[in-house]
Amino acid sequence: MRYRGTRVDEIIAAGSGRVHIRDGASLDARITTLPAPLHEVRLRSAAYLNVAPEEPVVMTELLQHYHRVSRHHVVPRNVLRPPGLAVYTARHHPRRLRYDADACTRVVAHLIERPRAVAAQFSAAALLGITDFADSADTALLGPFNRRITDDVTVPSVRREAADLPTWTLRLGERTLRTTPPMLTLAHCLRAVLDSEHAWSTPAGLPPHPATIRGVQLIDRFRREFGLTADHIAEALHGLIAQRTLTRLLALSDAGADSPPETVMRLVAREAAPHLEWCPQVPVYTDGSVGAPGTRDPGRTLLTVLDLAATACRRFLYYDGDHHLDRSQRDRDSAILAQLTVWNWTGLRVTAGMLADVRHLNALVRALTYPRVLSA
């Protein structure tokens, strides 16, 4: 099937969204860890210990300070993911693999070791700037390989590269890294999710199948970060994802979700109150006026942006991430909530814990939108 995503890839390369990436772009070395060759670190450790590099004590000492990300590369332990997060995400991995190093670091190591390979799936997404869900995913490569799904965190999952595979080249210092372009990357990620090759935590209790929720979260992230419409996705993924499946996912998708939890919050709201039109990113100004979703009026002072709102009845939902625990942020949140209340807005501030209990959150949203439920 001929790849039809080139036009949309070019739109992304022109800078249509919040993430700017193009074929030939340089990755920011300040935020991308370049793995160190194991043999070089081993020689330094041997010299420090004043023993031969082959001595077992060398690797024992080395691994106290470094973590192996591939057969021939390591990174300092201080750049690893938080241990608790690595353990948590491993619970949802199809083979319970625990990845302590982030996806970008791992795929860079594997591409250095395999210059003919191409980053794919969530490894490619990480290189392109879509890091959500990638750090707990297998490193995935395309190239002159027989298909193999890994059961070892230092070994990538590989598939044979198609003869007409479109690729982008990215640069990290003096190194060049090949990756699939954005829309082909999205297609590969969706296939991995729908085929249960990768998974992450989703709340129980929502009608869509967990794989469907993950697919919608993926599409939402690509749309939000690259500034894409549903039509862009439908055009680019034509023939790569079954049409009925793609239509179903796009019907649930929205480009306004700022994070994967906001996608879940929107799905809960639509399930709890389907009679309302829920819109994301609704601006409210200090004069009480409400702007069109996803817009900003430079001539007015912004009070807040409602993560999700049914403007016709003045109902809203916020998703409060970790930064809302900060004292100054809590003070600001309270002031905004007070002003919205004066203007007859009614809403909820939703947390990660509330999203985990979909049934209760559904009841709260129903009570919010059907006032009579409150007195029942």
Q: What is the pLDDT of residues 269-304, one digit of tens each?
A: 999 999 999 999 999 999 999 999 999 999 999 999
> Tell me, what's the pLDDT at 327?
67
315 inside domain: yes
Q: Rounded CA gap, 130 and 124, in Å?
A: 9
Q: For residue 132, give every residue at least 6 positions away whose Cβ sits within 8 Å of its Cβ, in sequence order, or none.
A: 217, 221, 259, 260
243 inside domain: no
Q: Rounded CA gap, 223 and 258, in Å?
A: 10
In this structure, the answer to whether residues 286 and 369 fall within a common structural domain is yes
By the 8 A CB rule, do 317 and 308 touch? yes
> Tell me, what's the pLDDT at 376?
40
> Tell me, what's the pLDDT at 331?
83
Q: Rounded CA gap, 13 and 219, in Å?
A: 18
Nearest CA-CA partner of 12 in 214, 168, 215, 217: 168
- The residue segments making up the domain with residue 22 are 6-35+70-194
Q: What residues does 304 pair with on adjacent strands?
A: 284
> Tell me, what's the pLDDT at 373?
44
Q: What residues does 196 pair with on adjacent strands?
A: none
Nearest CA-CA partner of 10 in 22, 27, 25: 22
Q: How far is CA 365 from CA 197, 252, 341, 361, in A?
A: 33, 18, 17, 6
For the chain, what is the domain count? 2
Which of 194, 217, 236 marks a domain boundary? 194
Helices 358-369 and 260-272, interaxial angle, to 10°?
Answer: 60
In this structure, the answer to whether residues 161 and 269 fall within a common structural domain is no
By the 8 A CB rule, do 315 and 368 touch? yes
Stretches where the chain sits below pLDDT 70 are 1, 322-325, 327, 371-376
> Tell me, what's the pLDDT at 56?
95
> Tell me, what's the pLDDT at 335?
93
Which of 194, 214, 235 marks a domain boundary? 194
In this structure, the answer to whether residues 182 and 294 fall within a common structural domain is no
Helices 182-194 and 210-226, interaxial angle, to 10°?
Answer: 170
Radius of gyration of the chain (CA): 23
61 inside domain: no
What global pTM score does this model have?
0.93
Which of 172, 194, 216 marks a domain boundary? 194
